[in-house]
Chains A and B, each alone.
Chain A
Amino acid sequence: MFEEYSMAELTDILFMQGFAGLILFSVLVLMALGLAIIFGQMGVINMAHGEFMILGAYTTYLTSHIFETYLPALFDGYFFVAMALAFLVCFALGVLVEWGMIRFLFKRPLDTLLATWGLSLILQQSYRTVFGAREVGVTLPEWMMGSYSMTETIEVPINGIFVMVLTLFIASGVYFLMFRSLWGKQVRAVVQNRPMAGAVGIDTGKVDRYTFGIGCGIAGIAGSAFTMIGSTGPTSGQLYIVDTFLVVVFGGAQSLIGTIASAFTISQSQSTLEFFLSGSMAKVITLLIVVGILMLRPQGLFALKIRQ
């Protein structure tokens, strides 16, 4: 099937395909980070994670409108304000949800799964009621449009590069938060031994609440970034959600590196396969490979072997 391509063309295609994979990778990492933090901390998969992301996207959409109408001079920088707002809105909702729902379902991960699914339905319908069923898109600031030509044949879109840089930034932020800050130490203490952490004076309830909030906040940022490369509808959150769950489960709970590595594996294999097969078959095969590997290594790629 390769005869019709020259060697140079093949390299270019592979490169572009790899770059498309990198953008997908960035989106997956952004989405998975928040989910992974929550999963690692509470052993809970937040089924409404996609809807939190969309909340961030809608927040960005609204912010862009406000800037367009009232502060056109500052439009170039609206995205950074939007991102901060997206984080705050999602964080606040996350804390509220943890306080009103999740904490009562402690130690019932399967029930939490169902309850958060219920939440996701409610959020979806709220978006539909408020923003309508049609997808909305944001206007990109000037500097983010267009693409950067690396060679004559290879062009990479600037918004793609921006999303990648942002991902790098957020991932390092999470790393510092979890592994270099006092708060991160408390979180890890609670994960490892909840009663003991409580006994040494850590407010485990509060740690749970903020962890959940931060996880949701990061989903908000992911949603914000998402508007840079795609449009937003009430059910857009569902689009990547299975992939995201798999990324987290595949990476293994409590492992940041695992999350990133598994996002990389999944996105690269999907975008590479997409070149050879139809999009849907590529997805099917990618998911099958992940499920297959999970069966061989149920704890995920990077789980620690610990004493039971």
Chain B
Amino acid sequence: MQQRSNIRFMSRQEVLGYIMLAVILLAIIPLSLDVFRLNLIGKYLTYAFVALGLVLCWGYGGILSLGQGVFFGLGGYCMAMFLKLEASDPESTKIQSTPGIPDFMDWNQITELPWWWEPFRQLPFALSAIVLLPTLFAFIIGVAMFKRRVGGVYFAIITQAIAAIMTILIIGQQGYTGGVNGITDLRTLLGWDIRSDSAKVILYYVCSAALFICLLLSQFIRYKKLGRILVAMRDREDRVRFSGYDVANFKIFVFCLSAMFSAIGGAMFTLQVGFMSPSFVGIVPSIEMVIYCAVGGRLSLLGAVYGTLLVNWAKTIFSETFPELWLFAMGALFIAVVMAFPNGLASLFKRYIEPKLPAWYSGKTMVSKAPIIEKDSSMETAHANALGSEENIGSSKSLAKPETAVTVAPRTDEKLEGGVYVD
């Protein structure tokens, strides 16, 4: 029974997975691509924050939000407001009728900076707003919805409506928000030119690092009891409630967390791309971000990153060569991923690639330091095979893996985990 208390933060496969991703993101991609393409990948990675949030919120918690673009946008706009104010110093805006305010305000006959723009002159305020404002907004939505037990399709539709409201509001209030063009022409961050090639490389690394922090944070949540409660809640909400948990609080938490991730992604987007506009806030981008998560595998944290990269890479290729086909491909992707691969790339990896990997990958031949326990692992193996047709990906370390010195062929030790997606 010793090993049961010995739950590990990451399995061997997961550790290898993270190392692999780190190598790809921090070495292979930067070394093999020019700055333009690197910046493009950096932009894709900002969507991965959203996809990651959706893994927790939708894959684990069962809450499908079709309004994640709202939080992405809020984060991005907070960043953009700071950068815009820095770019709008009286010297560089002296041709305006009111120098010292953002150009789009001047075009809209606004003569004074609105009071709520004022604090965004301070970087610390802007940075905290990036994280806190969207989280607070998600908290308000979450409390209002989850405490009233709004869920499922209703929640999806309402978040979609919120995305619509947000877009209309931003476009309608163009004097304060830059309207349909958004906030553009951002140049420097505390005097550092973010448009230069070197800045783009550095920002790429910052973005990757931030993504890794979010990944590890998600991994931590999955490893704690909280992660298992999310899975339990998704499958048997009533049972969790009658085990004495206030289900709404857990939903609010995971929704806020996913909003926070999205907002960080949005801010990184603004920094790397140099503008923010309502076209990243509305219904269409919001639901597109769901597909990034679904393609990667809705239960796989790492899958979210790969899914995002793959879909966006495909989108870029398509738009460059056959733009008219892209919507067909995208539509087919939505249908295919839902109908044929509900667990996305992660399940394909588990089924087709992992069995072919050498034995050291699953760590079975390794003699661990843990005490050797007299325990027959064949039973678990049998169950693993029974479940073998299902994709056992993601989620917590439900099964204490027998850390014995027994050598088992990797195929038979498919890990049984809590996140099996069963309908």
Binding site for B on A (CB under 8 A): 39, 43-45, 101, 104-105, 107-115, 117-125, 128-129, 238, 242, 245-246, 249, 278, 280-281, 283-284, 287-288, 290-291, 294-296, 298
Contacts and interface: CB of A to CB of B under 8 A. Distances in A.
A278 B160 CA distance: 22
Interface in B114-145: 144-145
Nearest to B290: A114
Contacts of B161: 242, 245-246, 287, 290-291
A13 to B, nearest CB: 22
6 contacts: A110-B64, A110-B152, A245-B157, A294-B150, A294-B154, A296-B148
Contact of B338 (A44, A111, A295): A111
Interface string B303-342: 0000000000000000000001001101111110111001
A180 B160 CA distance: 35
Contacts of B58: 110
A246 B164 CA distance: 11
Contact of A284 (B64, B165, B331): B165
A117 B336 CA distance: 12
Contacts of A43: 153
B64 to A, nearest CB: 5
B162 A280 contact: no
B356 interface: no
Contacts of A121: 327-328, 330-331, 334
Contact of B334 (A115, A246, A249, A298): A115
Nearest to B162: A291
Interface stretch (B84-92, B168-176, B267-275): B168-176
B160 A107 contact: no
Contact of A113 (B144, B156, B171, B337): B156
Contacts of A249: 153-154, 157-158
Contacts of B327: 121-122, 124-125, 128
B338 A45 contact: no
B324 A128 contact: yes
Contacts of B164: 242, 287
A272 B154 CA distance: 27
B339 A104 contact: yes
B384 interface: no
Contacts of A290: 161
A115 B338 contact: yes
A247 B145 CA distance: 18
Contacts of A108: 338, 423
B165 A125 contact: no
A118 B157 contact: no
Contacts of A283: 165, 168
A239 B290 CA distance: 21
A43 B283 CA distance: 21
A53 B57 CA distance: 32
Nearest to A299: B154
Nearest to A294: B158
A280 B169 contact: yes
Q: Is chain B's binding surface mostly helix, strand, loop or mixed? A: helix
Interface string B157-190: 1101110110011011000000000000000000
A56 to B, nearest CB: 20
A105 B339 CA distance: 7
B287 interface: yes
Nearest to B174: A280
Nearest to A128: B324
Contacts of B290: 114
Q: Is chain A's binding surface mostly helix, strand, loop or mixed? A: helix
Given A101-B335, A287-B165, 5 more contacts: A111-B338, A125-B331, A278-B172, A287-B161, A298-B150
A202 B154 CA distance: 29
A245 B333 CA distance: 24
A291 B158 contact: yes
B339 A101 contact: yes
B148 A295 contact: yes
Contacts of B144: 295
B334 A117 contact: yes
Nearest to A108: B423
B419 to A, nearest CB: 16
A118 B145 contact: no
A291 B140 CA distance: 13
Contacts of A296: 148
A288 B334 contact: no
Interface in B17-66: 58, 62, 64, 66
B393 interface: no
A109 B330 contact: no
A14 B245 CA distance: 52
B62 to A, nearest CB: 8
B153 A44 contact: yes
A247 to B, nearest CB: 11
Given A114-B334, A118-B330, A284-B169, A298 B149 contact: yes
Given A114-B338, A118-B338, A288 B150 contact: no
9 tightest A-B CB contacts, nearest first: A118-B334, A280-B172, A121-B331, A122-B331, A125-B327, A118-B335, A118-B331, A298-B150, A295-B144
A107 B423 contact: yes
Contacts of B171: 280
B338 A242 contact: no
A246 B153 contact: no
Interface in B288-309: 290-291, 294
Given A111-B342, A113-B64, A296-B148, A122 B153 contact: no
B328 A122 contact: yes
A237 B351 CA distance: 40
A129 B171 CA distance: 29
A12 to B, nearest CB: 27
Interface in B199-215: none
Contacts of B148: 295-296, 298
Nearest to A281: B172
